[in-house]
Amino acid sequence: MARVALSFLGVSRRPEGYEKLKYIWKEKEMEREYETDLFAEAVNAWFSPDKLFVFVTRKVKEQDNLKKLQTLCGEKLVPVDIPNGQSEDELWKIFDILVNTVEEGDSVILDITLGFRTLPLLGFAVTVFLKRLRNVKVEKILYGACDSKDPETMRTPVFDMTPLVELMDWLEGLDALTRRADASELAGLLKQAQSLINKDGGFREAQFDKVSNNLAHLSDSLHLSRPLKVMEYANKVSSLLAEVIDRDESNTKVRPFILLINQIKQEVSALAHGYSQELSSENLHCQLELVNYYLNKGLLVQAITLMREWLVNLLGLKINKDSWLTNEGREQIECVMKHSNSNKYVPGIKKVWIDATSLRNDIAHSGMNGSPARPSRIRKQAQRLYKQLVELLNGSTPDLTSTNSITIDVSRLYQGQAKIDELDTYICGAQKIAGEGNDVVLTGSGPIWLYLKIAHALHGRVRKLGYTSPVSGEVMVFDHDPF
């Protein structure tokens, strides 16, 4: 790993060459001055790189500037030929040359002062690329602002453009949060910024440390399916962001974060709830918001596992509100869900529970069974299940039908009294109605032997087979997905 400087050398418009200026570099409380007509000389003097790569075209090599710079900087200067950049193909060739100049893990100082046309922008793109793909540290991006010189003293400021690359990191962190519910990158960047402020002798803001810590906790809670902790940490982050959102932050280390606060707050606020441990309609609504959040981010495992537990919470609100977070309390709620007519407490919940449990089990066991559901089907089922949960919370009986759900009224398969010698006809009629790969529910009056034979005949042909009656409610006979 080496410390390398990348610099561009152009063609001066003045016959006598580039103007000699007093370049001023300010860092922390220190000011450096270097008088030269070739800014790369100042970069070499100030930062002492192991190698100084100077990118030159054929026309530049014909002038004396390169020879002069070689004399001033010695053997560490390495000229690198590049094309003129007069076409897209040539620009990509320059990009490749710049990228291949730097090794894995190098520390880079980029000087864009004398870069011609698109070269400064190209150099910036290269540093972003190298930082992501070759673990390169972008130490400085420098621009000697010739147009901002003092005409009397010739003092010329040097601008540190490095924060523009760091801004890309912040934008990637925001993208990770909005696309994947991953706030860890933002938390890490904020903590790193605070450390640099402290290292530079600045004042470290306690509020920013709190934001960083709570963002990290929120990220972990989101990905580990801890909805109550998600609500808690989202509430804390929202409150902390409200305290710093209008701050006029002069420190460039945290300024990018200030610019992103509105987007971060909007992303997090929908998940916040101040009373996560208290079971209520508001709490259940917030949990459903989290399910929708997961689905929109493509986090199906988290969404499906939460939906199953949400149904327990919904029934718990009706029958066991005070013990909903104890093992014993949840066992009692699930016992009612499985073995009692839970529909009398929440109309329609039993069938939704059966579907949610089946889907959750497929996910929890990683599809390690004889007939795992296809990924595309899991996604559709999760979306449909979420809509049913919304209907349950709103107090309406969910729509339990789908394009692949078939109800067979057994009493309509025969006239008068069912006869065993006509069994094959009844079975053929049931199979014709059921089709293949569908969800089938048997209902209606009929002899037990007919129900048993139909269930046996449909096994392996349909995905799910259930039974429903006013007395028993919904009962799952089998749940397979061979299609």
Quick check: 163 and 251 in contact, CB under 8 A?
no
CA–CA gap between residue 5 and residue 43 (Å, rounded): 8
pLDDT tens sequence across 303-326: 999 999 999 999 999 999 999 999
pLDDT of residue 238: 94
pLDDT tens digits, 355-414: 899 899 889 989 887 777 788 889 999 999 999 999 999 987 776 554 457 889 999 999
Residues 459, 29: Cα–Cα separation, whole Å: 80
Q: What mean pLDDT, rounded, does the chain reach?
A: 89
Token pair, residue 414, equals 């025969």
Token pair 């992303």 is at which residue?
267
Q: What gap in Å lies between CA 138 and CA 122, rounded to an integer?
A: 15
Say which DSSP state 410 is in.
G
* CA proximity to 172, closest of 123, 204, 131, 209: 131
| Alpha-carbon gap, residue 86 to 90, rounded angstroms | 6
Q: Do 384 and 354 contact (CB within 8 A), yes or no?
A: no
Task: Specify the pLDDT at position 27.
Answer: 82
The pTM for the full model equals 0.73
What tens digit of pLDDT does each residue of 101-142 get?
999 999 999 999 988 778 889 999 999 999 988 899 999 999
Dihedrals φ, ψ of 108, to 5°? -115, 135
Of 89-103, 160-174, 459-473, which gets the smallest average pLDDT? Answer: 459-473
Residue 40 pLDDT exceeds 90: yes
Amino acid at 109: I
Gap between the Cα atoms of 196 and 219, Å rounded = 23
Strand order in the sheet with 473-479: 405-409, 439-443, 464-469, 473-479
- Whether residue 155 contacts residue 34, with contact meaning beta carbons closer than 8 Å, is answered with no
What end-to-end distance do the CA atoms of the chain give, in Å?
55
Are the beta carbons of 47 and 34 closer than 8 angstroms? no
